[in-house]
Structure 1
């Protein structure tokens, strides 16, 4: 059986057993009046305890219309930037809006440099590319966002760009009354207010994502048009693709298919799966429940094979059309603006079905607090991190892990296999790379290699996810700590050549990055979760060794 629900340019196709499972859930959602209540922004949909926060976090439902007011101002800012000769836009920020802005620009084919990392190699490369044409958009108040603002402001000053000229190089997206707004106005930067009733995870159609995208050259007016065409269907009990999709996601989580494997198959939405990953993990992964999103390279990639734990979602071609992956349970197709709204709506519907508060982030702060503790110092001294001897050294790679986890492993292959075997039943392995997304891009190759190796080692292959640190802290990090306690973790850190000081702070970017990695690892091990850290004494050589250990 196959069901195809279309509206507002979106098509959601549900095929096979998932259709029977989701129809019961869908009927209940309709009976409970969820479509109308959600469209009316009823904060009680997720229970009385969730209502106070939900009342302050449902503004995203109106963004396809309310964000229109930004368009004229953004056009003016873009024109001013062109007049100033600034045609290189750098987004310095963190959270869900960074991958949203990246997806908008990649899909539109315009260049946006996204910095949501403390990796000194990545930051140094952006600085070395030349600041004479650079306009910085800054958003968020995370440790890395603060550090990046300080580093970029100092770089402009050292390049002789000061006073009013320097102020014209920054645009801040900040909530009224926030520390960022105050600092930006004091520095004379342009300030675009962010929406007070939209959480960062749901801000794909809000100011924090649209400002950098528009300045980079994306047509945000067309993006909002795409979302608006779908918005009218969200009140409907039937012929509502977002409700049908949310029912399918919720039904999957209630059953045993709580791993959501996402593969792109001709959608044309570059980078969208990464944004969807942070949304689903953060919205549903708490109280020991949730859907674990797993982004794979394609429908033929290791990890997309059908198992009784996976719910497969294709972005693009419908599963009943000819081609690979036709037997997948769900596919979604449609333009980017509508897809943002579709997934946000479906995620909060799934949260209601699962029984969790979609807007709470009860476990995100643990790693942040642990990082802050590592960075805390006396009288301005640099942070101190206790280094323990590695359990194993193999040329350019150090292995740090408890002996009971390694089980006598003496090679990198044995270490990685020991970690795969330590994944709990019905669990997963997450690879967390605190490296340079461009310069160390080969790290992402480890995901399919580990998935393939795990399939050969175990009767039931463990799903493998991959994330860049610290981006994952604001994305899947909530699921890692708050979701089902069945994860195992491979953290990768790397040596730094040419660190970058953070002005006004007693640490460098490299020290901040290492503190973020150590802080996260400390929390994971305290839960406790099986976790191995590998440190690359030489990044290129170390990655080659890890890849070689799995091939």
Structure 2
């Protein structure tokens, strides 16, 4: 599939797109070029996605050239990095688009960054106990009202005061990144905290090259100018019909999705930019998963992992620089994307907007994201749901529909059997992403057993990402939710609930949103986490037919 010409610009190459386009009944690239879409998108034309999306697009296309405006931040960033040089433990408190890009940047470039995008009390406690006197907390929220980030702010503020700092001393340990005029900007002013106002003309998932991506990355020691240079070098290709990597990737995504391959397996090829799949997952799922259609991204462990290939799957590998003549990706890869990280960000954003135009959806709204949030708020106000397990198997309480088998492996097998020929399984784990990391091994185990796409997401992180696709995309998903007992809870200062109660309400709120759509939801609650995870993995391994 990778044979043939590649679209190349600024050191970034997309291989295999033409072959995908040729597999469609009619060329998607030719249709887009006939409408002058590449040049119109480069010029930020808000009419590309139809009259229903035009108003939103008018205020959401800033990502096309935000790398130019972001250069204005560089002197401030240099000054901030110097001023806070003694605070060498950088914690990023943010959700979704506010945290995924800097996490990728730091990971790909080998810089230390603690990302706090959880309400799990164990994970929050561990962060609070780690080098507190040397910690700078970057609070990132576009809306300025994100409940998780506000909870982290309250917890860290209290921890600094408990450590004997004055309010002025505590304020020095925070940096706020938000949109102008947000509630968080006002709160930061009250706290006396440094605020970096971000470019507001785009949604969070398109904000990688704004203050949201650059501030925490710079504090972590990344040379962020290089990211902007990479994007700037690529930007000249955006209006072209050929040698336009963003167009090529968008054509491949759109052509595949409209011809029966609406699942995109994202796999690192091992040549750098590891972790990019987690960022691209949100970008694709939240931008395209609505109105009953969408592209389902599946982040896989390697190009040959279970679920990386198969019926209905477009396999896309990604990586950094390759030696001249080196073959990108693996033998099973349909499309390979290789190049500098800053160019990757702009390429994938442009490609997602192109794919949305092919699908006929608005890439800039997220109409179903608030539903689980509203359910969470109601549950926090009214109290937790009273639920009785169907049965208990060792350290796992099973909450299953009536008539389910009475053993863990059996109930998992029944869930997989219900996927049919067009379904997918989403595993969502409301656990500690560090201490309970092994639970992520469920994805390949269940994918091998199911023969259908299986995704994995950490809660509540995924609610700001694939959660939109789950509710707004094709209603063919089944859901395995894993929750865990909290043995050492943590109060959210100034709120009438704990982190554990917030986490439980978020899990229950999402279950309600999915069940309200008639989707199958199986909840497994670990009464002892380490034992329960081991038991789950063993049961998943025994579901293979």
Give 3-state SS (helix, strand or coil) of 1:50's partner: helix
| Whole-angstrom distance in 2 between the partners of 1:323 and 1:476 | 28
Gaps in structure 2 of 5+ consecutive residues: none
SS at match of 1:46: coil
Report deviation, 1:91. Answer: 0.6
> 1:446 & 1:196 partners in 2: Cα distance?
38
Cα-to-partner distance string for 1:262-318 (whole Å, 9 max, x where unaligned):
11112300211100001000111000101000010001211123x231011011399
- TM-score, structure 2 as length reference: 0.95
Task: Determine helix, strand or coil for the equivalent of 1:132.
Answer: helix
1:260 deviation in Å?
0.3
2:75 aligned partner: 72
Aligned counterpart, 2:346: 341
Name the CA distance, whole Å, in 2 between partners of 1:341 and 1:233.
11
Superposition TM-score, scaled by structure 1 size: 0.94
Q: Does 1:81 align with 2:71?
A: no
Partner of 1:395 in structure 2? 394
Match for 1:300 among 290, 304, 313?
304
Q: How far is 1:77 from its partner?
A: 0.5
Displacement after TM superposition at 1:321 (Å): 5.8
2:359 equivalent in structure 1: 354
**Partner residue in 2 for 1:27:** 30
Which of the numbers 176, 182, 204 marks the counterpart of 2:180? 176
Q: CA distance change for structure 1 residues 528 and 223 in 2, over 3 Å: closer, same or farther?
A: same
Corresponding position of 1:418: 414
Cα drift, residue 17 of structure 1: 4.7
Unmatched segments (≥5 aa) in structure 1: 378-383, 455-460
CA distance 1:100–1:285, change in 2 (3 Å): same
Aligned to 2:433: 437
> How far off its partner does 1:253 sit?
1.1
Structure 2 counterparts to residues 245-394 of structure 1, below 5 A: 245-305=249-309, 307-316=310-319, 325-377=330-382, 384-394=383-393
The answer to whether the aligner puts 1:54 opposite 2:57 as a matched pair is yes
**Change in 2 beyond 3 A, CA 1:201/1:403:** same
> Does the 8 A contact of 2:66 with 2:199 survive in 1?
no
> 2: distance between equivalents of 1:546 and 1:122?
21
Matches of 1:53 and 1:324 in 2, distance apart? 36
Decide whether the 8 Å contact of 1:2 with 1:19 is kept in 2.
no
Deviation per CA, 1:43-77: give whole Å up to 9, x if none.
11101110111101011111221111111111110
Contact 2:37–2:48 (CA<8 Å) still a contact in 1? Answer: yes
Where does 1:137-216 land on structure 2 (aligned, <5 Å)? 137-140=138-141, 141-216=145-220
Q: How many residues align?
A: 532
Deviating beyond 6 angstroms after TM superposition, the runs of 4 or more aligned structure 1 residues are none
- Residues 113-143 of structure 1, C-alpha deviation per residue, up to 9 Å, x if partnerless? 0001111000100111131100010011211
In 2, Cα distance between the equivalents of 1:505 and 1:511?
11
Deviation at 1:387, TM superposition (A): 2.2
Q: Distance in 2 between matches of 1:471 and 1:125?
A: 18
Question: Which residue of the partner structure matches residue 104 of structure 1?
Answer: 105
Q: Pick from 245, 268, 280: which aligns with 1:241?
A: 245
Q: Determine the structure 1 residue equivalent to 2:447.
A: 451
Q: 1:117·1:470 contact (CA, 8 Å) conserved in 2?
A: yes
